[in-house]
Amino acid sequence: EAQVTQNPRYLITVTGKKLTVTCSQNMNHEYMSWYRQDPGLGLRQIYYSMNVEVTDKGDVPEGYKVSRKEKRNFPLILESPSPNQTSLYFCASSFVGTSTDTQYFGPGTRLTVL
């Protein structure tokens, strides 16, 4: 089954404690990205990757890091989480520039930073 998986689905942590949210896709997609969803703001892109070892900032990258060492995985790293990073996070993947395809979204990760 084609899917994007994220772990953990729920996470409560404290300010400053490094954490990683994993994302994995099984569709051999080149493009992967991370979004955060906040009430009244919709979804905003954090980082994206066009392929292995190719990553770039989205619209709200501050406080986040990513890496793309393998095509299937695209972890999101919060080195020193702060309460303003409390949000719902989505990972998404797709083939690059294919007009007939669209992005597949993971199930979301609810992060709370105390």
Closest separation between CB of residue 16 and other proteins, Å? 27
What number of chain residues touch other proteins (CB under 8 A)? 24
Cβ neighbours for 39, distance < 8 A, ≥ 6 positions apart: none
Q: Are 110 and 39 in contact (CB under 8 A)?
A: no
Member of 6, 25, 33, 87 binding other proteins (CB under 8 A)? 33
User: What does the per-residue mask of binding to other proteins show for 82-101, with x meaning CB under 8 A?
Assistant: ------x-x-x-x-xx-x--
Q: Are 113 and 15 in contact (CB under 8 A)?
A: yes
Matching residue, tokens 């994302």: 23
**Binding flag, residue 7, other proteins (CB under 8 A):** no
